[in-house]
Chain A
Amino acid sequence: MRHTISLTVENKFGVLARVAGLFSGRGYNIESLSVAETLDPSVSKMTIVTNGEDKIIEQIIKQLNKLINTIKVVDLTVTGHVEREMVLIKVSASGENRTEVLRLVDIFRGKIVDVSPDTFVIELTGDEEKIGAVLNLLKPLGVKDIVRTGKVAMQRSIQHNSIDNK
């Protein structure tokens, strides 16, 4: 099963290598990883998406906790959370396609961030489902390249009445 793990670490050089080494040394897989400073510049937050059986995930979480530089590990999969990913999509857009692409971008609340005579670069933010849906619709029109940031995720403050506005 896929898990999204939020990892709070000391912002020191080498920490990313320790985390990555922990996965590679044990043959665990990282699907995506994003990392950046938090409000406190001495602390960074990582969002790691990984997959494995429950027993593997339990080991991953314990091993992450064991790293000296790890401050906190939360498996967001088992708590209420919001997650987002940003993607840049370079898509063929000439002739009739151009309006079709623009319409799709509009529907999914994306942005055109670069234009050339026969391509657009689209910026789009959303959860995995939404990004998957957009890509599926754009593929027949000719997707030339994509770059994804990897998922970022945050625990919800109020578990019940929150609205996930995709």
Chain B
Amino acid sequence: MKMNGAKIFVESLKKEGVDTIFGYPGGVVLYIYDELYHSDIKHILVRHEQGAAHMADGYARVTGKVGVALVTSGPGATNTVTGLATAYMDSIPIVVFTGQVPTNLVGNDAFQEADIVGITRSCTKHNFLIKNVKDIAKTIKEAFYIARTGRPGPVVVDIPKDVTMDSAEFSYPDDIELPGYKPTYEGHTNQIKRSIDMILASKKPVIYTGGGIISSGASKELFAFAELLKAPVTNTLMGLGGFPGEHPLFLGMLGMHGTYAANMAVTHTDMLVAIGARFDDRVTGDISEFAPEAKIVHIDIDPTSISKNVEVDIPIVGNAKSILAEMNKLLKQDKRLKGFVRESEDWKTLINQWKESHPLTYKETGKLKPQFVIERIYELTKGNAIITTEVGQNQMWTAQFYKFGKPRTFVTSGGLGTMGYGFPAAIGAKVAMPEATVIDIAGDGSIQMNIQELATAVQYKVNVVVAILNNNYLGMVRQWQSLFYGKRYSHTDMSHKPDFVKLADAYGAKGYAVEKKNDVLPVLKEALKSKLPVLIDFRVEEEEDVYPMVPSGASLKKMLLA
């Protein structure tokens, strides 16, 4: 059937199973918006295009499906760049459609023109400029395929206005023609066997896992793997939720704000099994002193992640889920397993001593503690909520004190560290899963970076709860200034800000302010029952620091503990 490009666009999205678009209209996408007017695809009108990209990202993280955003050319497109870079660093599958000026004006410095394909080349997995209406269906098929397969990531599709106006025959292709794109899923059999031999010959194993466990859906396989080996597990920030937070083999997060036990364990291990993690600098600290005594097996779907930062003994390229399943099968039949578990008992005793001697903790003072608030959120939601965070102290305390039990329940900007991410991501998550409890744990700085989305949340009755840990500072930066810059708090004072309760009210949301410990639970309970979005202004201890802390670039064993 012949139809115009805008209609082909919408029909193609339907073929991809898209149920929700986060978007913002503008001149060059009007044909598309005209088509959406009749469509049953749900469209969420954001208040800033950055919000659209983060919402699509939040939607993708909690569902595993591809999140979709639609924006206009020029500023609409450039406003999504932070969202794209966020998704790129954390390997999140989103497709952002950007309008473009008509093809005859491309390159003419036309009104609202930006070379978004050029601008986003280094912060997308791939991007496309569609120059002919005949290519729309094929390109959309490829964009979704690239976004969700292999190591997932964001894809931009730039569509000039005239292309949406022109007509062509619509047929959605069944096959993909990408001669240069063939992700490796199956791990190399020999490498898998060799890694089993290496693991079973060790005495002090540690399993170190990241976002790859979440994106490949390998939590069950990881659980079985750890249980078979009876080996301790530590997660990166992106990996939280991949292994139950309350499990006795769980060490907590490792790295700059990791637990004492996790950082000591990776420092002293003789066998590090890294799965879907990339040895990021926030994880390793001083790379020359990271896991210095360890043999390393590294499982990752992206060959460029392997031996990029740390030389490994056995690399296995492929999908974490299928490789772990294969390893579990081999382990179950392996006669050496029993002896291995027995031999590593001393190691686990030592780890338990570390856990007991240095648990995550904080000092009680008269004031409300941010960690206390997070503990109450955990208590109340029993680890079943979807938690998003902003970036900084709020994010680190959440990673430490909320014991994530399930994958796809922790939504945070790990790699890029995007302040202003958590609130729109929470909206995207809640739109995807209306039944879930969704809470954004925020700071008073971060929440102001995308506060305009409160209008979006109110408009669509997206009743997320925003728990602002309000300490009147850009807390993490202040903490660095306190520790490393002689307490010179250069431009980190955030005490000048709106009254969050009044602000919530102005937007038509619900606002609370909490200063006393005893009010935390009752207010949280009320907030979780609200049909409206809720902002809670928790007035917490102003100069509370996040500990443990490994100073930037130092060895993991050089933790500051208080």
What is the CA–CA distance of A9 and B180 in the complex, to the nearest angstrom? 8
In the complex, are the beta carbons of A63 and B121 less than 8 A apart?
no
Contact with B along A69-95 (1 / 0, CB 8 A): 111100000000000000000000000
A160 contacts chain B at the CB level, 8 A cutoff: no
Contacts of B307 in A (CB 8 A): 55, 58
4 smallest A-B Cβ distances: which pairs? A62-B304, A71-B180, A68-B126, A70-B180
Additional A-B contacts beyond A66-B304, A68-B126, A72-B180 (10; CB < 8 A): A10-B180, A18-B121, A21-B121, A55-B307, A59-B304, A59-B308, A62-B304, A63-B304, A68-B146, A71-B179
What is the CA–CA distance of A73 and B181 in the complex, to the nearest angstrom? 13
Known interface pairs A59-B308, A71-B179. Does A65 touch B303 (Cβ–Cβ under 8 Å)?
yes
Query: Contact size class for B?
Result: 10 to 19
Query: Closest B-chain residue to A43, C-beta based?
Result: B179
Count chain A residues whose beta carbon lies closer than 8 angstroms to a beta carbon of B: 21
Name 9 interchain pairs, CB-CB below 8 A, sorted by A.
A14-B129, A17-B118, A59-B304, A67-B180, A68-B125, A68-B126, A68-B180, A71-B179, A71-B180
Contacts of A25 in B (CB 8 A): 122
In the complex, are the beta carbons of B117 and A14 less than 8 A apart?
yes
Considering only residues 379-417 of chain B, those with a C-beta below 8 Å from chain A are none
CB distance from B394 to the nearest CB of A (A): 31
Known interface pairs A68-B125, A68-B126, A68-B146. Does A62 touch B118 (Cβ–Cβ under 8 Å)?
no
| Interface of A toward B, CB cutoff 8 Å | 9-10, 13-14, 17-18, 21, 25, 55, 58-59, 62-63, 65-72
Contacts of A9 in B (CB 8 A): 180
Contacts of A62 in B (CB 8 A): 303-304
| Interface of B toward A, CB cutoff 8 Å | 117-118, 121-122, 125-126, 129, 146, 178-181, 302-304, 307-308
Query: Closest A-chain residue to B151, C-beta based?
Result: A66
Query: Closest A-chain residue to B303, C-beta based?
Result: A62
What is the CA–CA distance of A10 and B126 in the complex, to the nearest angstrom? 14
In the complex, are the beta carbons of B303 and A68 less than 8 A apart?
no
CB distance from A53 to the nearest CB of B (A): 12
In the complex, are the beta carbons of B180 and A69 less than 8 A apart?
yes
In the complex, are the beta carbons of A10 and B179 less than 8 A apart?
yes
Contacts of B180 in A (CB 8 A): 9-10, 67-72
In the complex, are the beta carbons of B302 and A66 less than 8 A apart?
yes
What is the CA–CA distance of A65 and B304 in the complex, to the nearest angstrom? 9
What is the CA–CA distance of A68 and B182 in the complex, to the nearest angstrom? 9
Contacts of B179 in A (CB 8 A): 10, 71
Contacts of B118 in A (CB 8 A): 17
CB distance from A127 to the nearest CB of B (A): 29
Contacts of A10 in B (CB 8 A): 179-180
Query: Closest B-chain residue to A13, C-beta based?
Result: B129
CB distance from B297 to the nearest CB of A (A): 18
Contacts of A67 in B (CB 8 A): 180
CB distance from A91 to the nearest CB of B (A): 40
CB distance from A63 to the nearest CB of B (A): 6
Query: Closest B-chain residue to A60, C-beta based?
Result: B304
In the complex, are the beta carbons of A17 and B121 less than 8 A apart?
yes
Contacts of B302 in A (CB 8 A): 66
Query: Closest B-chain residue to A9, C-beta based?
Result: B180
Contact of A68 among B117, B129, B178, B304 (CB under 8 A): B178
What is the CA–CA distance of A65 and B182 in the complex, to the nearest angstrom? 10
